Amino acid sequence: MANMAQIEKNVPKIALITGASRGIGAAIAIRLAQSGYDIWANYRSNHEAANQLKNEITKLGKNCTLLPFDVSNEEQVKKSLSPLIENTTPDVLVNNAGFNKDTLLMWMSVEEWRSVTDVTLLGFFLVTKAVLLGMMRRKSGRIINIVSTAGESGLPGQTNYSAAKAGLIGATKSLAKEVIKKGVLVNAVAPGFIETEMVENLPKDEIVKNIPIGRIGWPKEVAGVVDFLCSEDANYIVGQVISVNGGLYM
């Protein structure tokens, strides 16, 4: 569902990815660059990792625009994206920004609840709203939300994170119904345990015992599914949650 005007003018496709400097977000950025997209890479504060990502994408012959802003801050979102979307609408938006602050609910602070849910849910709302009208006017676009197995099955100690990701699954399905007739396809990808900073301090040997495939996943495996959902082969897929979890939750 590429933008015909862009094709005619030989203008590169653009993918906006939030939380793109590390882990799954970086893997998605690199994979989409390999598929021909210029990248708008959002991140919050890790400038070193962001510049490393930019160098990798540049080596692939694609452009990478670094966008340091907090997705849950309305003013920062508008300040960073407004100049870009005045004349250009990204072909793809990947809402990947998110993090966890794990503890049992009885000990969880309001800040631990709000910071996690704000980045995932408010961040999705603010960034998606910023680019959605342009996609609808153009009558093409892909929005892919990175959710989690935690949002499907729930995990103890992650009530805030599970609630945020479950909410994003609901938002995916609702938005998909709102915009499908305008040519915008919305889907979600739900990773399980993936080799990123989020699992560094977890008991991996114990976790793997519960994963039927017998190992923790790799960021590139999530990125591959996102790449597929951006392709012409996924033109008939909408409102779905595709799990990448090694069979942890079926």
Q: Please tell me the pTM assigned to this model.
A: 0.94
Phi, psi of 185 (to 5 degrees): -100, 130
**Residue pair 93/142 in contact by the 8 Å Cβ criterion:** yes
Burial of 203 (0-12, 13-18, 19+ CB in 10 A): exposed
3-class secondary-structure state, position 243: strand
Report how far residue 57's alpha carbon sits from residue 26's, in angstroms, rounded to the nearest whole number.
Answer: 10
Give the pLDDT confidence score for residue 138 in this predicted structure. Answer: 96
Q: Greater confidence, 21 or 204?
A: 21
Q: What are phi and psi of 6, to 5 degrees?
A: -65, -40
Is the pLDDT assigned to residue 3 strictly greater than 60? no
- Could you give the angle at which helices 219-229 and 23-34 cross, rounded to 10 degrees? 50
The pLDDT value recorded for residue 51 is 98
Residue 243: HSE in the Cβ half-sphere, 13 Å Cα cutoff = 13
CA atoms within 13 A on the CB side of 227: 19
Residue range 4-243 forms a domain whose CATH class is alpha beta
Q: DSSP letter string over 169-184?
A: HHHHHHHHHHHGGGTE
Q: Which of 37, 43, 161, 249 is catalytic?
A: 161
Name the pLDDT band for 9 (thresholds 50, 70, 90).
low
pLDDT at 194: 96
Answer yes or no: 249 catalytic: no
Q: What angle do CA 237, 238, 239 make, to 5 degrees?
A: 135
* Residue range 173-188, pLDDT digits in tens: 999 999 999 999 999 9
| pLDDT score at 5 | 45
Tens of pLDDT, residue by residue over 85-140, are: 999 999 999 999 999 999 999 999 999 999 999 999 999 999 999 999 999 999 99
SS3 of residue 10 by DSSP: coil
Q: Which residues are registered as beta bridge partners of 13? A: 37
Cβ(137)–Cβ(179) below 8 Å: no
pLDDT > 50? residue 39? yes
Ramachandran quadrant class, 106 (left: phi over 0; alpha: psi -120 to 50; beta: rest)? alpha
Q: What is the mean pLDDT of residues 211-216?
A: 96
Alpha helices (runs of H) in 21-71, residue ranges in sequence order: 23-34, 47-59
Token pair in block for residue 225: 């599914």
Q: Is the pLDDT of residue 31 over 50?
A: yes
**Token pair for 230:** 């951006």
Q: Is the four-CA dihedral 150, 151, 153, 155 of positive or negative sign?
A: positive
Angle at 247 (CA atoms; ends 242, 248), nearest 5 degrees: 100
What are the structural domain ranges in the chain?
A: 4-243
Please tell me the predicted confidence (pLDDT) of residue 7.
Answer: 46
What pLDDT is stored for residue 159 in this prediction?
97
